[in-house]
A and B are shown apart, each in its own frame.
Chain A
């Protein structure tokens, strides 16, 4: 199988020039991902057989969409000395993955694909196409995009009057405003983002007063709240929010759907639309 041949190639990686010609044409067979989003895209596009290792976050049920499936895939913490012996022929790194590690790998001739951070569905399409091209899986990438677009195209619930208001308000008042993936998800679901409306750009904090004054119809509640007490979580239970009518409804959106822009993010839109269809003010 091609894997054995690539192993030989990996052994002589120091003489990258010898193998370089073959690399350009053949799709990578020993993929290492150092980034949570790269983990998920590599899994969706290439599958188990061609993955040498994923980042340790891939197994985190709180963050990773593919966590249940990757329990037996080798993981790396992200240090150069554990990655190099794996002889990867493609490393997926995030834009903010440890720069010295990535520079070292690049200097050793390891091909690196640097991922962007999609902030909307157009960004997700671009990202999937780039990774699919690098993995030689263009048809699979197009299929994933088509499935995502089909989910997004399902008719949104009709509402008379102004659009309902939604917000993703996490422990401590942390939220996502304009130019974030969460904002794009709320918009696609037919909701006005309270944080964006309050003038927040990027990620930041929304005060309790702004939450009460905004009377959101939908609150995206984190599915993976730790059960141990903290002051930040106590804020989510403040009496001013617990009163009837202060919030329309809490919708649980699993954090992995919003942590990374992947085709699975469309699932978050579907969950929000379903909640809107049930009626926002019970």
Chain B
């Protein structure tokens, strides 16, 4: 059952790095596809109630994924860019994540970016994914977490709305 799957989240402030480990109840081929094919990424990478919209996806070393987070009102919350630095098929890939305009041009050289390594390990019946997200500095990490905090709050509130709505129907 899903609630028994391993989930670990730690942050190292000294090195401005976030470590996330999660186990999934599917084989390596499927989990790898879910993290590297935009048609699947679009279905889960944005926290509800947002969704993702992919404009470009070129999954190869030197390629890039250009996407936007979209609100339920269909407002795009800016474009994000993931540049694929290194790919080891069915094992790991490394991206440079930043914000950009709709053509994938970086917004501002000084603006925040992170280097993310995503590592896949096949287990007997599950697949473990480890995400190591390194920011340039502590300040950028704080900014990043603060942005996440706001989105997280919105998502929680939306979930609460749904809960209240379903209770009201009873």
B is bound to A: no
